[in-house]
Amino acid sequence: MKRIFLTGYMGSGKSTLGLRLAQKAGLSFIDLDHYIETRFRKTINEIFAEKGEKEFRIIERNMLREVGEFEDVIIATGGGAPCFFDNIDYMNKQGCCIYLQTTPEILFQRLKHARSNRPLLRDKTDSELMEFIKTNLSAREEKYKRSSIIFDTGELESYDAIEKAVERLYTIIEQK
């Protein structure tokens, strides 16, 4: 039985690598944000707007505990999930937690084109976006680094690079 939790900042590759890795390993894949949206029949943005961040983080914690009981699964957490309550400790206890680490500069390159899809980033200029990434990543990194494994995802800019990263991750999870 395998439970793999992928953590990291938005744009670090959790969903992209998680789905490909699950396919290769023959495991189920769950994107925690999509799971929450399906369960609540609302987008994360709608839940945030209606309930606020504090209530959302409670929902997120409860849904993490739910999917954390599933077997043979790879779970891509939301970027903030490891940073609240005892979530990072829970994930490390339940399975293998992998921090997909990426530099602020690479995150900026990935996220600047996806601003319209990410409400927290939507109205930011390039310089504001870079500062936002640096500040938030710095605040979260201590929790992220408590993951069982730290895996560099700086080189995911091509299909071949993604496939190589999936191969390396597959080797890691097969040893767990």
Please give the pLDDT value at position 176.
75
Residue 124 has pLDDT above 80, yes or no: yes
CB atoms within 10 A of CB 47: 19
Q: DSSP of the chain, one letter per residue? A: --EEEEE-STTSSHHHHHHHHHHHHT-EEEEHHHHHHHHHTS-HHHHHHHHHHHHHHHHHHHHHHHHTT-SSEEEE--TTGGGSTTHHHHHHHHSEEEEEE--HHHHHHHHTTSGGG-TTTTT--HHHHHHHHHHHHHHHHHHHTTSSEEEE----SSHHHHHHHHHHHHHHHHT-
Please give the pLDDT value at position 23.
97
141-167 residue pLDDT tens: 999 999 999 999 988 888 899 999 999
56-83 residue pLDDT tens: 999 999 999 999 999 999 999 999 999 9
Please give the pLDDT value at position 158.
87
87-96, 119-128, 136-145: range with lowest mean pLDDT: 119-128
Q: Is 16 marked within a binding site?
A: yes
Q: Is 14 marked within a binding site?
A: yes
CB atoms within 10 A of CB 99: 26
As a whole number, the mean pLDDT across the chain is 94
Q: Is 11 marked within a binding site?
A: yes
Q: Is 72 marked within a binding site?
A: no
Kind of pairing, strands 3-7 and 73-76? Answer: parallel
Q: Which residue has the higher pLDDT, 118 or 169?
A: 169
Q: Is 33 marked within a binding site?
A: yes
pTM: 0.94
Instruction: Determine phi and psi for 59, rounding to 5 degrees.
Output: -60, -45
Q: Is 28 marked within a binding site?
A: no
Q: Is 148 marked within a binding site?
A: no
> Which CATH number fits the domain 3-169, given the four candidates 3.40.309.10, 3.90.25.10, 3.40.50.2020, 3.40.50.300?
3.40.50.300
Q: Is 168 marked within a binding site?
A: no
Q: Is 43 marked within a binding site?
A: no
Distance of CA 122 to the CA centre of its chain: 19
pLDDT tier at 114, thresholds 50, 70, 90: confident
